[in-house]
């Protein structure tokens, strides 16, 4: 945890990198006692409080139940008092509100708290995208409205630029989940105008050297490679796989199986590196 503390101290003024680091650490340490012990030992350390809360939230997601939702909220609020400019306590509270199926006024209020501190916070945009979907507390129409608004007002290279393509991949997965004829014809989704245009915009720019600068850029390139292969656009996927250079993001490859195996099979099918 001392090494974790030093790492997070280095990114304290870079909200994009700090959010990414905390999200990865929370996922990796979700079954560890380390984050909670660190927060207990340093109760006025905002990084310790946020990591402990986020790790507990991740543990609850993996187990299907939260042990102490009130404790998560309390840790985040204390961290927000200690570091009022830091968006990460509000990112975790946003995730908690999704888990608890809170109403849209409250959830949008938390989302605005994040954006007031980090305008293009990737984690917050993707969290809202899922919240507004029909699987949680919204509808397909709300997703479309949200994505249209984001696309119209977001720089092409912003950390949250993958919101639109993520929405298309989620819709593709919803078709696969239906099974039967719908799953067999799910590939046709990428022939629709919204999905095809979203994929075109990403394919023409994302893999260019130096285009993306945010901390989770490789995760977004994984998303693009996955979508291109799902659409059977193998030639366009090759340079994306080469830009990824073997760094595999768990999602969306995990939907079909073990992520590294699925990634490698798709890379071979694309002809990248052959």
Does the pLDDT at position 23 exceed 80? Answer: yes
Q: Name, in order, each residue with C-beta under 8 angstroms of 178's C-beta and a sequence gap of 6 or more.
A: none
Tokens of 74: 């309390």
Are 109 and 209 contained in the same domain?
no
Q: Which residue has the tokens 């292969």?
A: 229
pLDDT in tens, 109-123: 999 999 999 999 999
Are 87 and 172 contained in the same domain?
no
pLDDT in tens, 141-150: 999 999 999 9
pLDDT of residue 272: 67
Are 146 and 167 contained in the same domain?
no
Please count the structural domains in the chain.
Answer: 2
Q: Name, in order, each residue with C-beta under 8 angstroms of 259's C-beta and a sequence gap of 6 or more.
A: 248, 249, 250, 251, 253
Q: How confident is the model at residue 20 (pLDDT cuts 50, 70, 90)?
A: very high
| pTM of structure | 0.94
Does the pLDDT at position 274 exceed 60? Answer: no
pLDDT of residue 3: 87
In the chain, pLDDT over 70 holds for what percent of residues?
99
Does the pLDDT at position 154 exceed 90? Answer: yes
Q: How confident is the model at residue 273 (pLDDT cuts 50, 70, 90)?
A: low
Nearest CA to 171 out of 143, 200, 201, 193 is that of 143
pLDDT in tens, 73-124: 999 999 999 999 999 999 999 999 999 999 999 999 999 999 999 999 999 9
Mean pLDDT within 60-76:
94
Tell me the C-alpha to C-alpha distance, in Å, between residue 210 and each of 205, 206, 218, 235, 241: 10, 9, 12, 21, 16
Are 138 and 166 contained in the same domain?
no
Does the pLDDT at position 163 exceed 60? Answer: yes
Are 102 and 205 contained in the same domain?
no
Q: How confident is the model at residue 264 (pLDDT cuts 50, 70, 90)?
A: very high
Are 9 and 142 contained in the same domain?
yes
Does the pLDDT at position 253 exceed 90? Answer: yes
For 43, phi and psi rounded to 5 degrees? -70, -5
Q: What DSSP letter does each residue of 139-170 carry, written as one string?
A: -HHHHHHHHHHHHHHS-TTSTTTTHHHHHHHH
Range of the domain at 241: 162-274
Q: Are 58 and 91 in contact (CB under 8 A)?
A: no
Distance of alpha carbon 257 from alpha carbon 84, whole angstroms: 41
Are 201 and 269 contained in the same domain?
yes
Are 123 and 257 contained in the same domain?
no
């Amino acid at each position: 945890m001392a090494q974790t503390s030093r790492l997070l101290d280095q990114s304290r003024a870079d909200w994009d990198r700090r959010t990414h680091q905390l999200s990865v650490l929370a996922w990796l340490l979700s079954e560890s006692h380390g984050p909670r012990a660190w927060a207990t030992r340093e109760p006025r350390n905002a990084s310790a409080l946020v990591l402990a809360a986020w790790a507990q939230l991740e543990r609850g997601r993996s187990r299907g139940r939260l042990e102490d939702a009130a404790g998560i909220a309390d840790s985040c609020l204390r961290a927000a008092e200690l570091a009022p400019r830091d968006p990460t306590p509000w990112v975790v509270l946003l995730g908690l509100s999704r888990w608890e199926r809170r109403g849209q006024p409250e959830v949008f209020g938390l989302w605005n708290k994040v954006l007031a501190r980090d305008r293009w916070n990737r984690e917050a945009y993707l969290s809202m995208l899922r919240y507004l979907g029909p699987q949680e507390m919204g509808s397909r129409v709300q997703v479309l409205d949200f994505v249209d608004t984001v696309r119209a007002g977001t720089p092409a290279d912003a950390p949250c630029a993958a919101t639109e393509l993520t929405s298309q991949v989620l819709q593709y997965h919803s078709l696969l989940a239906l099974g039967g004829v719908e799953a067999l014809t799910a590939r046709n989704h990428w022939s629709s105008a919204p999905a095809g245009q979203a994929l075109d915009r990403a394919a023409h720019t994302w893999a260019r050297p130096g285009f993306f600068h945010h901390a989770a850029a490789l995760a977004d390139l994984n998303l693009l490679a996955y979508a291109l292969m799902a659409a059977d656009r193998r030639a366009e996927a090759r340079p994306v796989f080469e830009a990824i250079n073997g760094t595999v993001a768990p999602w969306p490859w995990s939907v079909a199986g073990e992520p590294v195996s699925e990634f490698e099979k798709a890379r071979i099918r694309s002809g990248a590196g052959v």
